[in-house]
Amino acid sequence: MNTELLQNFAAGRWQTGTTEGTTLFDPVLGTALVRVSNAGLDLKEAFSFARRQGGSAMRALSYKQRAAMLEEIVKVLSENKAAYYDIATANSGTTTRDSAVDIDGGIFTLATYAKMGHKLGDNHMMLDGERIRMGKDPLFQTQHFLTPTPGVALFINAFNFPSWGLWEKAAPALLSGVPVIIKPATATAWLTQRMVQDVVNANILPVGALSVICGSSSGLMDQLEAFDVVSFTGSADTGRIIRSHPAVAEKSVRCNIEADSLNSALLDPNTQVDSEVFQLLVAEVVREMTVKSGQKCTAIRRVFVPAPLYQATAQAISAKLKKISVGNPRNETVRMGSLVSQEQHQHVLSGIATLKQEADVLFDGNPADLVDADKHLAACVAPVLLGTQTPETAQVLHDIEVFGPVATLMAYQDIHQAYALIQRGLGSLVMSVYSDDPSFIAQTSAVLGSHHGRIHAISPDVASLHTGHGNVMPMSLHGGPARAGGGEELGGLRALNFYHRRTALQASTSALDALAQTATPLVY
């Protein structure tokens, strides 16, 4: 086989797997690209080296010094963006616009944390909150402070964001002084490996601070020790396996899970069909269905509209979806590329068939020909809008997420029913609200806040300003309760909490004064 076998960077050196490995394919053309394998790697050595060498060197640096390193990483990645776009097109089947969400989004997140890190200054730990008296006499008080965990951060990532998925986790980890071992999803590992390779070769970070292991995840969790952390993005089934692993269950390894999410969009019951609010909902649903071919953990899956507007909404969304050209992302006329693999192609088609058991097909773009692509070869699925006017009787529509360009329109009779139906999703990463009534937005946030990691309110006054239902910004929390995994990432400096240990120092005011001289107050 002539395809290149990508190297792993572990234990401070580049290493090649000892087997032929797994071949990655172009999901549109079906051609072989590269291979990945970590067979023969000494995983124990890799984790030990990262803790001992990478961790010690990173913790010796201040927040400001580590922030400067993030800035240098941004420069390296920015200089090599052209190559990353080529890889994304070939390996993920994404258009230039969709590749930017992943590549530029990852670089932007790194740059944001670099700026935050400079504000933390030259210290090596942070103060958390104010001092609290332990009694009537102020001489003896308690002060909470944060220090970086002396372990390693293992990231097991999903296939849909090989760039952003890496850097949104790595940025706060490296800023905290914690070494990173990244295990990218095999199907799209090429971009992650190339980015790590460019950063390692630039000699920005201490050796061992950043590692990449491609291929099988077997044995990785077995290497975790008590002060390590693991962050996973992917299916709820795999999340359950990670939570039950002895490293988590017995050693109390800190664990962050981002899993399935049936994200919702809610239209204000007082909306008129000729209003700007209505048009904002339609535009956002179409965008969320088609960006990255719907392969986003934050994409809109369920759309709740007042029953009198059901037909009008279906027609408006369908009219826009009809204009979406699907096919080879190399063709400039193509608006939506492919899914990342034939495996995902089959999963999405199977999922659509399941949802059809409880929903009508309102729009299906799949009968149309693909642009510059063979529909029998390419892993392309055109947008599919399903719908039901009786969502209260549905089961699978509130339980199964189809990870592709698919959404289900649902009619509600009153707002209380809408709230109850949204809650049947059992927790999600994000929901969006479409209204020009601030009181309604506030009411909805209060009722549904406990079920969502983020609520994105879109009103006419922010029509040209909002960042989008599905765009994850580093300033806001990313994660969600219950079925969404129960995890939290980003949220500005809140992300650093995952990589620090909180301690309470109970001491005299003079001792607390000494502590304060060596720590930066943490201000979210």
Check residue 164 and give its pLDDT: 98
**What does the pLDDT look like over 184-199, one tens digit per residue?**
999 999 999 999 999 9
Task: Kindly tell me if the per-residue pLDDT of 1 is higher than 60.
Answer: no
Kindly state the average pLDDT of the residues 77-85.
98
Count of residues for the chain? Answer: 524
Please state, for a pLDDT cut of 90, what percent of the chain lies above it.
Answer: 98
Cα dist. 34→48, 90, 121, 182, 193 in Å?
A: 29, 11, 42, 18, 11
By DSSP bridging, strand 300-306 and strand 452-458 are unpaired
Check residue 260 and give its pLDDT: 87
392 Cβ contact list (under 8 Å, min separation 6): 417, 421
95 Cβ contact list (under 8 Å, min separation 6): 89, 329, 334, 335, 336, 337
Kindly state the average pLDDT of the residues 390-396.
98
Confidence grade of residue 174 (pLDDT, cut at 50, 70, 90): very high
d(CA 15, CA 21): 13
Half-sphere CA count of 408, side-chain side, radius 13 A: 35
Task: Kindly tell me if the per-residue pLDDT of 282 is higher than 60.
Answer: yes
3-state SS, one letter per residue, for 32-85: EEEEECCCCCCHHHHHHHHHHHHHHHHHCCCHHHHHHHHHHHHHHHHHCHHHHH
Check residue 70 and give its pLDDT: 98
Check residue 58 and give its pLDDT: 98
Is residue 397 within 8 A of residue 262, CB to CB? The reply is no
**What does the pLDDT look like over 92-118, one tens digit per residue?**
999 999 999 999 999 999 999 999 999
Kindly state the average pLDDT of the residues 387-415.
98
Check residue 318 and give its pLDDT: 98
Name the phi and psi angles at 339, rounded to 5. Answer: -75, 170
Is residue 336 within 8 A of residue 373, CB to CB? The reply is no
Is residue 143 within 8 A of residue 131, CB to CB? The reply is yes
Catalytic positions: 258, 297
**Helix extents (H) in 211-254:** 236-244, 246-249
Name the phi and psi angles at 436, rounded to 5. Answer: -105, 15
Check residue 262 and give its pLDDT: 97
Check residue 2 and give its pLDDT: 76
Counting beta carbons within 10 angstroms of the beta carbon of residue 326, is it exposed (0 to 12), middle (13 to 18) or buried (19 or more)?
A: buried
Residue 158's nearest CA partner among 150, 143, 147, 168 is: 168
Instruction: Go through the domains of the chain in sequence order and give each one's CATH number.
Output: 4-125+149-259+487-504 (3.40.605.10), 263-473 (3.40.309.10)
d(CA 17, CA 6): 8
Residue 27's nearest CA partner among 81, 88, 97 is: 88
Q: What is the mean pLDDT of the chain?
A: 97
Q: CB neighbours (10 Å) of residue 278?
A: 20
CA angle 198, 194, 187 (to 5 degrees): 165
Check residue 399 and give its pLDDT: 97
109 Cβ contact list (under 8 Å, min separation 6): 164, 167, 168, 171, 474, 490
Helix axes 81-92 and 63-79, enclosed angle (nearest 10): 70
Kindly state the average pLDDT of the residues 396-414.
98
* Token duo for residue 28: 């549109």
d(CA 28, CA 31): 8
- With 0.85 as the threshold, say if the pTM is over it: yes
3-state SS, one letter per residue, for 348-377: HHHHHHHHCCCCEEEEECCCCCCECCCCCC
Kindly state the average pLDDT of the residues 483-492.
97
